[in-house]
A and B are shown apart, each in its own frame.
Chain A
Amino acid sequence: MTTTHDAPPAYEPLPEDADLWTAKIRRKLVRALPPDRMVPDRQPAYLSSWIYIFGALTMSALAVVIITGTLLALEGPAWWHLSTVGLFVNSLHLWSVELFFFFMVIHLWGKFFMAAWRGNRTLTWMTGVITFMASIGAGLTGYLSQTNFESQWIATQAKDGINAIGAGAFFNVLNFGQMLMWHIMILPLAVVALTVLHILLVRTKGIVPPFEIASPEGGAHADATAETAGGEG
């Protein structure tokens, strides 16, 4: 119900504040990221397939990776090598990474065969590609950060490959301190920031419709936009 007496939305500034930089930024943010699209109550009917759950599953696995990684960073190598709780959390970190890649690869296959870059979604696709590559780097530096014989073996085996692509001068897999910093600082920041950007793009552009109901521009026909309650999938 809308009447002329409705109060303006809370994000609208007072008339005398309209030119303040805070008001301008707020208006731009609300225009770029409409709140009703960020956390919708209903999804298009074409999302009623299990193939659409793998993005959310990947995010869930990433959350466990970050939480267990934070615990490992708090306690240190002696804890994760020698105590039973530490061994358990270390195993959770490994298996959540396994599931993260497992779900992400199925998400990738699903989106590839849907040509999910259709309908002006190129940036959504590319942020996913770059997140995947950053995750592979995070996985490699994770193996190098275990502080055991396996990590030493992998470092000595990987150095020739890294040198062969010309990156050895600034990315030295034999430099444990550098690899640990990449693993617990640079790459997690990159993966999480890219994931947030990826999700914001998915929410603003919408989830790509299947081929048979897509318009030539990649948008969905009206009969496909009937909505179903609930979250993704």
Chain B
Amino acid sequence: MFASISLALGAIFNLMGSGHYIHWGFVQISVANLLVIVLMVVTFFAAILIPFRHKSGGKS
């Protein structure tokens, strides 16, 4: 069971190959790190923009 799940996930994400990098002048960043930064920025703006719904009954 565990081995089959590992195999399925491994087929989606090939972690055995060499990493992918983006070069821009002297800036070099791995695609994985860039993806994490983009996700953090998206989550930050989502946290500000998405309305927070709280249960009724509070005083506010």
Contacts and interface: CB of A to CB of B under 8 A. Distances in A.
Interface of A: 42, 45, 48-51, 53-54, 84, 88, 98, 102, 105-106, 109-110, 226-230, 233
B30 interface: no
Given A45-B59, A49-B52, A230-B58, 16 more contacts: A42-B58, A42-B59, A49-B47, A49-B48, A50-B47, A50-B52, A54-B47, A98-B36, A102-B39, A106-B47, A109-B40, A110-B44, A110-B47, A228-B54, A228-B58, A230-B54
> Chain B's interface: helix, strand, loop or mixed, by majority?
helix
> Chain A's interface: helix, strand, loop or mixed, by majority?
helix
A150 B36 CA distance: 21
A227 B60 CA distance: 6
Interface of B: 2-3, 36, 39-40, 43-44, 46-48, 50, 52, 54-55, 57-60
Contacts of A48: 52, 54, 60
A228 B47 contact: no
Contacts, number: 55
15 contacts: A45-B58, A45-B60, A48-B52, A50-B52, A51-B47, A54-B47, A84-B3, A102-B36, A105-B40, A106-B43, A106-B44, A109-B40, A110-B47, A227-B60, A230-B55
Residue from B40, B44, B50, B59 with most neighbouring chain A CB atoms (10 Å)? B44
